[in-house]
Amino acid sequence: MGSLHVEDLDNISKCTVENPLDPEEFRRQGHMMIDFLADYYRDIEKYPVRSQVEPGYLRKEIPDSAPYNPESIETILEDVHKQIIPGITHWQSPNYFAYFPSSGSVAGFLGEMLSTGFNVVGFNWMSSPAATELESIVMDWLGKMLKLPKSFLFSGNGGGVLQGTTCEAILCTLTAARDRMLNKIGRENICKLVVYGSDQTHCALQKAAQIAGIHPNNFRAVPTTKANDYGLSASALRSTILEDIEAGLVPLFLCATVGTTSSTAVDPIGPLCKVASDYSIWVHVDAAYAGSACICPEFRHFIDGVENADSFSLNAHKWFFTTLDCCCLWVKEPSALIKALSTNPEYLRNKATESHQVVDYKDWQIALSRRFRAMKLWLVLRSYGVANLRNFLRSHVKMAKNFEGFIALDKRFEIVVPRTFAMVCFRLLPPRSPLIIKTNGYQNGNGVYHKDESRANELNRRLLESINASGSAYMTHSMVGGVYMIRFAVGASLTEERHVILAWKVVQEHADAVLATF
């Protein structure tokens, strides 16, 4: 660092030194920020749902070095509007139907504000008792709403913890399973451990396996089929396990999914747990998206058999009106997490911890530091109540059913996989000449179409890009069984029936245009 020039010293003397956490200035700027966000949500339908900017756009708009002197919040918010909002894909838009929802709510936002405002670092009970105890309480609340077995609740010697994401939840449970097994067979045998999922399981499992030191060759993505609606077959799992045992390997961990990312397929938890129990395999149930729906009695059966699993997680920040990040993880055996993830340096020793009467959540997660996430989940549960939360979820399912009905009425389209929750997977069928119907085509009620998968896939790629480029709606795709399909996921908090109707009109209009040039 060089010495300051005279003009720099003059500028320093002219700068006003203000307390960065002055209560009155916080009040003034906070009101401005709330007004800004309220206006954003009021006007959100005016923006293209998917950002339309080109890579590198922002470097052309923003100076290449930080300002030397302070700038006003008014100036900064003006630049947010002009420079940042054009580069945002609007996940809270009522016309957002991509990936899975990241549903928000007033309660979720205000809970986040309280969490951020208190800004506690709740790594153990002593560091902020309310943060730990509220988390334990709300996790039991939500566990009871889901009718989880008592063995997953603190009252039944299990317990729940708020992680950031499913990736973290899977990594923590896999690490616990790994250490429990290695304590039996010797740590030198880590290269023998095998992790199981299906070819529809989220890539978070493979990433967790890599981080946990599982040999890349020992990751099993068991194939699924259309006959089972792309759920993991218990018989296929057992066959794969037996082959590994025959090869001298050690089955370790199974991730079963309720609501896969590609198609919301549901793995049969009960039968899979039966197979896993025969080989002492840790079973984690990943219900990141669909778990929220299971607070509704009509969907609870999708997690039947969870009583025989070792851990269960869902993302409240997906379809439970709680802002990112908030992954709810329950485990039957907290001691397995604690043994694998705890450290106890002298500077963290305290009487409460040594009394063994408190939970130190630092030992239930990867990181030491942790946010007061329970505050926002607590506000959501209290502000809306079980009855309203169920009705919110049911309204999204109803809208997805209606969209499914629109597709059924237009014979140019087909549903690729059965709808289970609030996501519809569909595609446009390519037109073909009637001359080929006898050899490799079929006829439906509105003309002749040919199931040429490569052509159909290309047609739907074009259709999806055309829809998204319009900015009128945003959807994403996946592939199952070699079929490229468009995913229409209802779940944004602002979405109403009129937005679903509009989205269908957009799909039809762009289908007309794409078919005209295909």
**CATH code of the domain containing 232:** 3.40.640.10
Residue 304 belongs to a domain: yes
Do both 226 and 312 map to the same domain? Answer: yes
Task: Out of 168-172, 405-409, 438-442, pick the least confident.
Answer: 438-442
pLDDT value, residue 511: 97
Cα separation, 479 vs 263, whole angstroms: 9
Closest-CA residue to 135 (of 147, 146, 124): 124
Whether 111 is in a domain gets the answer no
Whether residue 10 is predicted with pLDDT greater than 60 in this model: the reply is: no
- Is residue 5 over pLDDT 70? no
Q: Do 505 and 436 belong to one domain? A: yes
| Nearest Cα to Cα of residue 229 among 201, 197, 264 | 264
Residue 353: predicted pLDDT: 85
By the 10 Å C-beta count (0-12 exposed, 13-18 middle, 19+ buried), 491 is classed as buried
Q: Are residues 395 and 337 in the same domain?
A: no
Whether 416 and 506 map to the same domain: the answer is: yes
In a domain, 108, yes or no: no
pLDDT reading at 418 higher than 80:
yes
Amino acid 81: pLDDT: 95
Taking the C-alpha atoms of residue 348 and residue 95, their distance in angstroms, rounded to an integer, is 48
16 is a domain residue? yes
Q: Could you count the other beta carbons within 10 Å of the beta carbon of residue 383?
A: 16
CA-to-CA distance for 359 and 127, rounded, in angstroms?
11
Q: Which of 267, 217, 263, 205 is nearest to 237 (CA)?
A: 267
Measured CA to CA, the distance from residue 209 to residue 223 in angstroms comes to: 18
Q: Do 173 and 319 share a domain, yes or no?
A: yes
pLDDT (tens digit per residue) in 284-293 = 999 999 999 9
Beta strands in 377-446 (DSSP E): 413-415, 423-428, 442-444
Question: Using alpha carbons only, how large is the chain's radius of gyration in Å?
Answer: 26
Assign 14 a pLDDT band (cuts: 50, 70, 90): low
Answer for the pair 140, 150: CB distance below 8 angstroms, yes or no. Answer: no
Task: Compute CA distances 233 → 221, 236, 306, 414, 457, whole Å.
Answer: 12, 5, 16, 25, 27
CB 437 within 8 A of CB 402: no
SS (H, E, C) 226-244: HHHCCCCCHHHHHHHHHHH
Whether residues 243 and 308 share a domain: the answer is yes
Instruction: Please compute the mean of the pLDDT values over residues 230-253 and round it to a whole number.
Output: 97
Measured at the CA of 460, the angle between CA 457 and CA 462, to 5 degrees, comes to 110
Q: Which of 37, 55, 87 is the last residue of a domain?
A: 87
Residue 363 in any domain: the answer is: no
- pLDDT category at 224 given cuts 50, 70, 90 is very high
Query: 66, 87, 108 — which closes off a domain?
Result: 87
Regarding whether 435 and 290 lie in a shared domain, the answer is no
Q: Are 173 and 294 contained in the same domain? A: yes
Q: Provide the b/e sequence for 408-421 (b: ≥16 CB within 10 Å).
A: eeeebbbebbebbb
> Please, what is the average pLDDT of the chain?
92
The DSSP result for 139-187, as a single string, is HHHHHHHTT--GGGSGGGT-EEEEES-HHHHHHHHHHHHHHHHHHHH-G
Q: Residue 498 belongs to what domain range?
A: 386-516
Residues 457 and 398 in one domain: yes
How long is the chain? 518
* Domain containing residue 24: CATH number: 1.20.1340.10
What's the pLDDT tens digit per position in 27-67? 999 999 999 999 999 999 999 999 999 999 999 999 999 99
1 is a domain residue: no
Number of neighbouring beta carbons within 10 Å of residue 221: 17
Bridge partners of 319, per DSSP, are none
pLDDT digit string, tens, across residues 372-412: 999 999 999 999 999 999 999 999 999 999 999 999 999 99
What is the pLDDT, as a whole number, of residue 453? Answer: 86
Q: What is the mean pLDDT of residues 305-323?
A: 97
Q: Per the omega criterion (within 30 degrees of 0), is the bond before 79 cis?
A: no
Helix, strand or coil, per DSSP, at residue 105? coil
Whether residues 189 and 302 share a domain: the answer is yes
pLDDT grade, residue 436 (50/70/90)? very low
Q: What are phi and psi of 456, to 5 degrees?
A: -65, -40
Q: What are the φ/ψ torsions at residue 55 (nearest 5 degrees)?
A: -55, 135
- When pLDDT is cut at 50, 70 and 90, the band that residue 308 belongs to is very high
Instruction: Give the domain CATH number at 439.
Output: 3.90.1150.10
Q: Based on the domain organization, do 235 and 318 belong to the same domain?
A: yes
| 160 vs 152: CA distance, rounded Å | 7
> Which amino acid, residue 79?
D
Say how many domains are in the chain: 3
CA-based nearest residue to 272, from 240, 297, 300, 309: 309
Q: Is the dihedral of CA 402, 406, 407, 409 positive or negative?
A: positive
Q: Which pLDDT score, from 0 to 100, does residue 8 have? A: 53
Q: Which residues contact 249 (CB under 8 A, 6 or more apart)?
A: 192, 193, 194, 218
Domain presence at residue 507: yes
Q: How far is CA 54 from the centre of its chain?
A: 26
Question: CA 52, CA 87: separation in Å to the nearest integer?
Answer: 7
**Do 81 and 206 lie in a common domain?**
no
Question: Is residue 249, in this structure, part of any structural domain at all?
Answer: yes
User: Residue 12 has what pLDDT?
Assistant: 54
Q: Rounded to a whole number, what is the distance in angstroms from the first to the last CA of the chain?
A: 62
For the record, the structure tokens of 150 come out as 């008592």
Strand partners, 137: none
High-pLDDT (> 90) share of the chain, %: 86
For 99-143, the pLDDT digits (tens) are: 999 999 999 999 999 999 999 998 888 889 999 999 999 999 999
Q: Residue 313 corresponds to which amino acid?
A: S
